Amino acid sequence: MAGVRLQDVAEHAGVSMKTVSNVVHAHPNVSAPMRERVQRAIDELGYRPNAIGRRLATGRTGLIALAFADVRLPYFSELANVVSKAAAATGAGYRVLLEETEGTIEGERAVLSASEAGLVDGMLLQPSQMSSREIAERHGDLPMVLLGEGPAPLSVDRVMIDNVAAATVATEHLADLGRTRIAFVGHEDASMSWTSRQRIVGYQQGLESRGLPVEHDLLIPTGAIASDEAARAVGEAIDRGIRFDALMCRDDLAAIGALRALHERGISIPDDVAVIGWDNIAFDATTFPSLSSVSPNTHELARVALEMLAERIEGYDGIGRHRLVDFELALRESAPGSLQASGAASGDASDADAAVDAGAPGSLSHSLSA
């Protein structure tokens, strides 16, 4: 039945609203017979507490927004899944409101400046376009934690993996496999995202640490973050005569596109060209060959982000805390290895998601600090 109010239950049971409220909230100070009587009234009337009324009174909605570019990107859909589970497991039992920014600055602005306040208790945002300054200015007093390696003002909390370190480790792994012409694939053509920028920096560091030359020709940009774009770009590079024996990909979408371009040209993976992707999305295990990938610990990322957000919601008002979570290389057929590298920052790498297909688990540990 709709429209049954606390009041109605109270009248039906012949008690006050407060008593009904106590029963609903399982308060200790209610006698057993009273509790039973009220419960019967609740059941008879089919009463459900009205969330909005409660929330007006408490000032909390129990909702948090999760905002990122596009749920269709596997990394984000997997993140949404992890975050929504972790949020539900929270003490407050948060539910997740999905917000897509489309990766545009207008979208990010819209999400931050939602004209209505109070709908959500806080926000997890993965920005990619807005400047730190704009983020700091716009978010107002909405409790917020930033996700990922994008811009982040010092005043706001943020969780990420060390992209430079991860790209370095992955590139070094390719070098250690004996590859000498390692290309980077998948960064934006025109204005590069923060993400691409950092991964390229790490790629370069990896090359340098192994004494390999950095060649501009070996940077293969794509029009957009999409596998078909990457397939086209890699195909064109090959056809243009660019030669490489390994591909460090900005993300798994780029890697999957690269796989296709290589297949089409009869290039063998990993014999002729080894490939490493990024994000360790579920598909990586079933591509042919299966795809090695940088595997961020998203469970830990979600956990830490929600913990900080909860503190902000509770009223913590200190300076922005920047946290790193760990990553590892999930090694599969496209770039097998005898060594499993991992970078750890915040302790346990509990997530056993990353199927490491080959090699002894010689764990190469990076000590990173925020």
Partner DNA sequence: GTGAAAGCGCTAACAC
Partner DNA sequence: GTGTTAGCGCTTTCAC
Judged by beta carbon, residue 42 or residue 207, the one nearer a copy of itself is 42
Q: What is the dihedral of CA 261, 263, 265, 271, to 10 degrees?
A: 110
CB closer to a copy of itself, 169 vs 302: 302
Give 368's contacts (C-beta < 8 A, 6+ positions apart).
Answer: 162, 165, 324, 343, 344, 345
| Separation of alpha carbons 344 and 323, rounded Å | 12
Is 19 a binding residue for DNA by CB under 7 A? The answer is yes
Report the candidate in 299, 265, 264, 260 with the shortest Cα–Cα distance to residue 277.
260
The one of DNA, a copy of itself, none whose footprint includes residue 181, by CB under 5 to 8 A per kind, is none
Name the binder of 167 from DNA, a copy of itself, none, CB < 5-8 A by kind: none
Task: Give, as ranges, the residues between 23 and 82 that touch DNA (CB under 7 A).
Answer: 24-25, 29-31, 34, 47-50, 52-54, 56-59
Give the shortest CB-134-to-DNA separation in angstroms: 25
Q: Return the number of the residue (202 or 257) whose C-beta is nearest a copy of itself.
A: 257
- The residue among 19 and 292 lying less far from DNA, judged by its C-beta, is 19
Q: Which residue has the tokens 């794509």?
A: 222
Per the CB < 8 A criterion, the answer to whether 214 and 175 are in contact is no
User: Tokens 């409660």 belong to which residue?
Assistant: 54
- Closest approach, Cβ 109 to a copy of itself, in A, equals 15
Instruction: Return the ∠ at Cα 232 (arms to 199 and 283), rounded to 5°.
Output: 65
Nearer to DNA, 47 or 244 (CB): 47
For a copy of itself, the binding residue among 29, 31, 191, 286 (CB under 8 A) is 286
Q: Counting contacts by CB under 8 A, is residue 20 touching a copy of itself?
A: no
**DSSP β-bridge partners for residue 248:** 184, 276
Long-range Cβ pairs for the range 357-361 (8 Å, 24+): 357/290, 357/331, 357/332, 357/333, 358/331, 358/332, 359/331
Q: Which of 119, 154, 360, 370 binds a copy of itself (CB under 8 A)?
A: 119
Binding site for DNA (CB under 7 A): 3, 5-7, 14-19, 21-22, 24-25, 29-31, 34, 47-50, 52-54, 56-59, 118
